[in-house]
A and B are shown apart, each in its own frame.
Chain A
Amino acid sequence: MVSPISELNEPLKVEELLSRKARDWDLVQVAGRDGLSNVIYTPEINRPGLALAGYYEVFSAERIQLIYLASLTPETRQQVIRQTFAFHIPCVIVTTDLEIAEELITTCDALQIPLLRTSLTTSLFQADLSHFLERRLAPAWTVHGVMMDVFGMGVLIQGRSGVGKSECGLELIERGHRLIADDVVVIRRISKNQLIAETPPNIGYHMEIRGIGIIDVELLYGVRAVREESPINLRVMMEPWDPMKEYERLGLNDRESILFECSVAEYVLPVEPGRNIAKLIEVAALTQRLEDQGINVAREFDRRIMEAIQRKQTTRRPFTAIDRLPRP
């Protein structure tokens, strides 16, 4: 049994936006210091256009607002501010270092709404902000397992407690692969069919090894042994060898499994004394890499065999990499 899955919904506050992105985006807070704990719930961004013309029926107040009011006449500006700020707005941003109307500053201070300014142009800033918000607010969970980058393929190793996942992770690190997370893996669904795994907050690259205690992988093995995030390309299920169960022997069958509504290739690896699971995981990662390139070795091999049977002659070289080279 794989341990239960938990939801991870850390609220995104304006202060996090500032602490993580102020430098990249040249963000400066101009007003509304008391509103830093305002929460941003939606990855969408609003650029009020209709609202400036007085139409508020579909005003998306819960979004971050990108506005510029300095060009309006003082009367219109006051009216727009009055109407716009009647809604509960989490945060207001002015781009391209545009002039900021005095009333906007006083209103934001009074209503405790952070007012930020960036030197980036609207199109650049909006794209960056949107990308950040989509990722940060993507649905996230934590699962029990070990997440490794093996030959550039993200491998999520799962299995019940005590089956040897962490030891297997250590062996993979020894072999030059990278640890993303041990025990608690943060998984984010960043688009319809794409999952990424992240190093969990507060834990970093610490591992709990029974009999030894807590170790720090980055300290022990250096910076080449760790990575902060990775897409999930395959999932390896480690389980004690069950003589009654039939394990995959050909690789002709579809390996698709569903993880948080995304399809992920799944390899079930039976554990038995003497089996080097780390080595098997390397092979699984490489096999999946070929599969992702459209090469299923078992099917190609089968096709060769069928051809040989049809021709009634043995084939000396059944399928090698050379056969895939383009021919003139």
Chain B
Amino acid sequence: MMEQTQTGHRATVTIPNSLGLHLRPASQLVKIASKYEKCDVFLTKDGQSINAKSIMGVIMLAAEQGSELILEANGEGSEEAIRELVALIESGFGET
């Protein structure tokens, strides 16, 4: 479910794949987030928030299967960015 914020959009997602957010999924996520140059994208897990355009940042979260992530995008194209990222995560990054 996407909701609108004062500066952009936000959504909460659950990691579906059994290996969690490891290197390959993280790079897929970063690749998409980085497409939105005029938009800041954050990923939050357990109060830790990171820049979703950095592979190392995403890796730092070490998000396991079933963990809840808050996606937030502020700026131009935030709605599209969130929609695309949610779709990627919900697809399980092509993993099981």
Contacts and interface: CB of A to CB of B under 8 A. Distances in A.
A202 B53 contact: no
B28 to A, nearest CB: 15
Interface stretch (A8-16, A17-25, A48-56, A285-293): A8-16
Contact of B42 (A4, A201, A202, A214): A4
Contact of B56 (A6, A11, A161, A208): A208
A274 B8 CA distance: 41
Interface in A177-211: 182-184, 200-203, 206, 208
Given A202-B60, A202-B62, A203-B59, A8 B48 contact: yes
B47 A10 contact: yes
A7 interface: yes
Interface residues of B, number: 18
A16 to B, nearest CB: 13
A144 interface: yes
Nearest to B42: A6
A14 B50 CA distance: 25
Nearest to B34: A161
A183 B57 contact: yes
Interface of B is mostly: mixed
A3 B62 CA distance: 21
A184 B58 CA distance: 10
Contacts of A7: 47-49
A208 B31 CA distance: 14
Interface string B58-74: 01111000000000000
Contact of B60 (A144, A161, A203): A203
Contact of B47 (A9, A182, A183, A206): A9
Interface of B: 23, 40, 42, 46-51, 53-57, 59-62
CB-based closest 3 A-B pairs: A9-B47, A183-B56, A6-B49
Given A3-B51, A3-B54, A202-B59, 10 more contacts: A4-B42, A7-B48, A9-B47, A161-B53, A184-B60, A200-B56, A201-B62, A203-B60, A208-B55, A208-B56
